[in-house]
Amino acid sequence: MSRERQAVERARKAFLTGRSKPLDYRIGQLKSLQRFVVERQKDISDALKKDLNKSKLGTPLYETLGLEGEILLAVNKLAEWAAPRPVEKNLLTLSDQVFIQPEPLGVVLIIGAWNYPWAVTIQPLIGAIAAGNAAVVKPSEVSAHTSKVMEELLPLYLDKEMYPVVTGGVPETQELLKQRFDHIFYTGNSTVGKLVMEAASRHLTPVTLELGGKSPCYIDKDCDITIACRRITWGKYTNCGQTCIAPDYILSPTVLRDVKPDAKVMQEEIFGPLLPIITVSGVDDAIRFINEREKPLALYVFSQDNKTSSGGVLANDCLVHFSVSALPFGGVGNSGMGSYHGKFGFDQLSHLRGCLIKKLGMEGVNQMRYPPHTAKKLDWARFFILKQVDVARVGRMAMLALLAVIAAVVLQVRIKKNNRALHANCVQ
């Protein structure tokens, strides 16, 4: 049996013990992960220096502070995220319990990329642990020293049966992809993303694909160009341009000047320190240009005109939306599917189970569904199914009506009491 298969089987066995389900266990593992990040900061930054020449201070800033923030959030919010979520009732479910219960999915495969190897490998793991899953972690072979630190040190902090780290390159990843998982979370390029999805389809395994692409950056003529240039150059040249959401090319001022739209540099993600600039006639021209291409992971708009801002866009800055745990982070179309960060990561790796709990009483209401079917029963069914009733509002109105009745009764009793007292005074 291959090493990869053994790791998956051990993780499955650990999951089936049920020990990852209680919130105390999940919080305990998350806190251990937090301790790992803090206590092993030097190992982490030494490995990143060797792999990618990242600086000692850049490591917390771009890789581990975000992880600590996500862990803290998950620890503090877990009870809320994992609790049953009541949903709106209708006439048919008035006396039932109707709610969504997040449940663990099972065993998740996390495949990470090399460019921010901690951020993009451990962040999905936080979601997996919080949601009560087991997870097999496959770091990128390109950042080999980081991969070794994960393999050697993570098991000293986490439940090593539940969260094994499997290292290796393409053959090892492919061997993992032959196994059965309950979810695959892949970060990397779109070409391999398609292979991952194809492999997942053999077991009908759902996937999250965090891919890349050409994130456009539109600069309007009325924006503060000095600030825009500072933020864009930071966004582009951080990590040598090797950031999934780096602005890939600029549309309006004028690095690669007046680039032709069909030039090679405009066909594929650049993922390096080159910044082509394309001149457009205005916002409509920019929108047309962007819409003619694959859907990007991020869109940057530098403009005073807030008509150009919309959901899923970062206006007047670059990259920083990645650090906002309250926003879903993920792509669409060629840039991926699914999202994570904060509660979105928890939800992404949970099964949101719809729960309807009925009582065995009130059988009379069900007559309309049992044969023989009659026109009258159909009328009742039509009423119950189609009648749009705001049950919460009806409840509030019923409560108000009840309070009004109670107030009227109290008032009447008081009036009667007063009348009796008046009568007694008059008699005296």
Ligand X SMILES: NC(=O)c1ccc[n+]([C@@H]2O[C@H](COP(=O)([O-])OP(=O)(O)OC[C@H]3O[C@@H](n4cnc5c(N)ncnc54)[C@H](O)[C@@H]3O)[C@@H](O)[C@H]2O)c1
Q: Which residues of 27-59 are buried (b: 16+ CB within 10 A; e: fewer)?
A: bebbebbbebbeebeebbbbbbeebbebeeebb
115 binds ligand LZZMOSXT (CB under 6 A): yes
83 binds, among ligand X, ligand LZZMOSXT, none (CB under 5 to 8 A by kind): none
Residue 306 to residue 340: CA distance in whole angstroms: 27
269 binds, among ligand LZZMOSXT, ligand X, none (CB under 5 to 8 A by kind): ligand X
First to last CA, the chain: 105
- Using DSSP, state whether 153 is helix, strand or coil: helix
133 binds, among ligand X, ligand LZZMOSXT, none (CB under 5 to 8 A by kind): none
CA 158 to chain centre: 23
62 binds, among ligand X, ligand LZZMOSXT, none (CB under 5 to 8 A by kind): ligand LZZMOSXT
Please give the positions annotated as active site.
210, 244
The angle subtended at Cα 159 by Cα 77 and Cα 146, nearest 5°, is 90
Interface stretch with ligand LZZMOSXT, choices 114-122, 276-284, 335-343, 354-362 (CB under 6 A): 114-122
Partners of 107 in the β-ladder:
134
Give me the count of residues in the chain: 428
11 binds ligand LZZMOSXT (CB under 6 A): no
Out of 66, 104, 106, 212, which residue is the one contacting ligand X (CB under 6 A)? 212
322 binds ligand LZZMOSXT (CB under 6 A): yes
Out of 15, 36, 62, 81, which residue is the one contacting ligand LZZMOSXT (CB under 6 A)? 62
Nearer to ligand X, 159 or 269 (CB): 269
Cis link prior to 139 (omega < 30° from 0)?
no
The position carrying tokens 């999915």 is 105
Partners of 135 in the β-ladder:
108
Nearer to ligand LZZMOSXT, 90 or 233 (CB): 233
Interface stretch with ligand LZZMOSXT, choices 22-30, 115-123, 128-136, 396-404 (CB under 6 A): 115-123
Interface stretch with ligand X, choices 84-92, 113-121, 220-228, 303-311 (CB under 6 A): 113-121
Q: At what angle do helices 41-52 and 23-39 cross, to 10 degrees?
A: 60
- Which structure tokens are listed for 232? 């864009």
Nearer to ligand X, 163 or 271 (CB): 271
Q: Which residues bind ligand LZZMOSXT (CB under 6 A)?
A: 62, 115-116, 119-120, 243-245, 319, 322
